[in-house]
Amino acid sequence: MAKVNKITGRAVKKKIARARARSGTAGAPLEKGYAAVQAYFHMEVDKKDLSDILKRYIKNTRSKEDQKFIFANAEYNFNMFTHYAAAAFWINSAMPRDEMTISTGGMWYDALDKFVDTLYEKGKPLFAEKEAEKLAQGNVITLSPMQKLQNKINNTIMYELDDLEDAWMNGEEAVLDVYLRMKFHGLGGSATKPVASLIEGWLLDYSDAYHKRCEQAVEGYSHLKRPELKRRMNECEKMLGDLEKLKASTKATRTVKIKKPASLDKQISRLKFKKEDNDYKISSIAPALLIGARRIYTFNTKYKVITEYVSSKATGFEISGSTLKGLDTLASRECSLRKPGEFLPIVQSKSIKQIDTAWQLLTTKTKSPNGRINGDVILLRVMDK
């Protein structure tokens, strides 16, 4: 019985929810036959879906070996023919093949397989080409930093030295400011060795000819007068001096990498010390105060040893594990106490000078400490000087 509106007395029509329109491959009209599916694919399915459908068909029907050749083809081969994608969709959906007739009398599944065969043949050389490119990329030779530097030396300053030698052979009194030219080419101290080796060879030849130490050198440079030999020797020595200056300059301007100290909490994380001692009625200060302190006083409750640590660094102490870093072993000292109760209050409250005066009165032997702190040690006091 139909529902009645209580106010108007009229029958209420039942609202029917309309089915949501399907799009893409989900809306393909399989129930209307293959021809309708082909027409739908031509108008409604986007390229990505066309490619996915055809590739899925190939994966279902061809071996892995065949697929690597087929998929070597460009992407447009898989999405430009809607009729082949429609045929693949029909077969993927397990629809009857006898409906897949072509107007010329053939069958679309045969045409689809021939198209895939064509892709297979086209893909063979493409796959080989891609593999060759990968192999070539893998065979790229990477030069080491030293090889790159040597290439730069050969292509810059060595060319200029060759030009200098040619000018000398032509009788010109040419000169070369090696320091400025090396700077110009961005060559530093590490580049001086091969350059120096070449110039040293020249200097040896000219010296042997000038001082008549080698018959071959004398004969080879017999066309040069002694003043010219001397001038060239001086130029070689000057260039070698420039190379030494370049090495010193590079060393002076070299960036020094300073190790960043560990964070405060990390430095004291493994430090072992005694927090409190009831016998001597003393307690340790916060261990974080040790970091950066210039002077530290500790007391070993087990052996009754008082220690004064002095830092050798302006930045004060650092800690590694349970060891003080930056310890001045000559200025630092430790000593056993016969009467700790009398000496410890002095350390805790007096000035450095007063502590030193009291220390001089101790009768036990003063020694140099090793900088290690352990679980028997009370951290008494720190100072910043």
What is the Cα–Cα distance from 331 to 160, expressed in whole angstroms? 58
pLDDT at 17: 42
What is the Cα–Cα distance from 162 to 176, expressed in whole angstroms? 11
Q: Which residues contact 306 (CB under 8 A, 6 or more apart)?
A: 297, 298, 299, 334, 335, 336, 337, 340, 343, 344, 347
pLDDT at 192: 92
Are 298 and 379 within 8 A, CB to CB?
A: yes
pLDDT at 336: 94
Query: pTM, whole model, 2 decimals?
Result: 0.40
DSSP character at residue 364:
S
Give alpha helix (H) positions in 254-290.
264-267
Strand spans (E) along the chain: 276-277, 282-283, 295-300, 305-310, 318-320, 323-325, 333-336, 366-367, 377-383
Low-confidence ranges of the chain (pLDDT < 50): 16-20
What is the Cα–Cα distance from 220 to 211, expressed in whole angstroms? 14
Domain ranges of the chain: 24-136, 146-253, 264-383
pLDDT at 29: 85
Strand spans (E) along 30-146: none
Among residues 381, 329, 333, the alpha carbon closest in space to that of 360 is found at 333
pLDDT at 379: 94
Q: Distance between the two ends of the chain, CA-based, in angstroms?
A: 104
pLDDT digits (tens, 9 = 90+) for 237-253: 999 999 998 888 877 66
- Residue whose tokens read 């028997």: 376
What is the Cα–Cα distance from 164 to 67, expressed in whole angstroms? 64
Are 223 and 238 within 8 A, CB to CB?
A: no
What is the Cα–Cα distance from 278 to 378, expressed in whole angstroms? 11
